[in-house]
Amino acid sequence: MGDAHLSPAVKGKTVLVVGDSWAANFGTGMSKIASADNMIVNAGLGGCGIMMPHSVAGKKATPACLEWPEKWPQYMAMYKPDAVLLRTATWDMYPQAFSESDAELTIEYPAVRARFEKYMDRAIRILTENNTPVYLTNAKIGGVNSSNSQSLAMNKAVREFAEKNAGRGVHLLDLAAQLCNNAGCPPVAASQKVYDKTDHPTPWSRDRLAAWILNSMFADESASGV
């Protein structure tokens, strides 16, 4: 799972990390393993997707989650990153409503899938400023708060979006293949716990996945699945 070592090619790079708590987790891992001459701008926010919902899983959307259309252009102008990691799979697959009167629906519904694609397009227009490559990740299959069908629907949406927008510099990092296999998503790899109590990567798996992400961005080194 992931990469054990960071490639020497990852040198003098600036990476902007945006998205949810998994994004923030990976940003922390990148900052830990990358040498001092790399800059990791960690703007991941826990509990945030990109679809600008009114509510998610019965709770009103956090105001900070609605600010990305204003914040991300500022980050792009300020830091001029060499690459961007956008990780938004988890919260955008959950049941959510887009107005006070709407029922909450998951990414499995066509209307929600269409909204996801609309806001992904908006995000990519911001993040590919100056032809900056953008790397998306999919999600592990299932989890504490999501069903297999939700994560599979999300992963299908992310994969098809990346394929459709490859010409715009959009790439897919197959996180699900790193974490899961035909038998499921093992909680232990190489005698190490993969997830913590919140179902996020432990420091061990976080750092290996961070190395895999950076190597994939700058050294074209893509690890196989678990």
Supply the Cα-derived Rg of the chain in whole angstroms: 17
In the chain, the percentage of residues whose pLDDT exceeds 90 is 81
Q: What is the pLDDT of residue 15?
A: 98
* Banded pLDDT at 145 (limits 50, 70, 90): low
Give the per-residue pLDDT at 175.
95
Diameter over CA atoms, the chain = 53
**Each residue's pLDDT tens digit, 69-92:** 999 999 999 999 999 999 988 889
Q: Backbone dihedral region of 168: left (phi > 0), alpha (psi from -120 to 50 degrees) or beta?
A: alpha
What is the pLDDT at residue 143?
Answer: 64
Average pLDDT on 26-43 reads 95
Asked if the model's pLDDT at residue 142 lies above 80, the reply is: no
Give the pLDDT of residue 146.
59
For the chain, give the percent of residues with pLDDT over 70.
Answer: 95
Give pLDDT tens digits for 148-203: 889 999 999 999 999 999 999 999 999 999 999 887 889 999 999 999 999 999 99
What is the rounded average pLDDT of the residues 119-129? 96
Q: Please state the pTM of the whole predicted model.
A: 0.93
Sign of CA dihedral 2, 211, 22, 135: negative
pLDDT at 39: 97
Going by C-alpha positions, the residue among 212, 214, 192, 213 that lies closest to residue 203 is 192
Q: Distance (Å, rounded) from C-alpha 66 to C-alpha 85?
A: 19
Q: Which of 46-50, 113-117, 143-147 has the lowest mean pLDDT?
A: 143-147
pLDDT of residue 89: 85
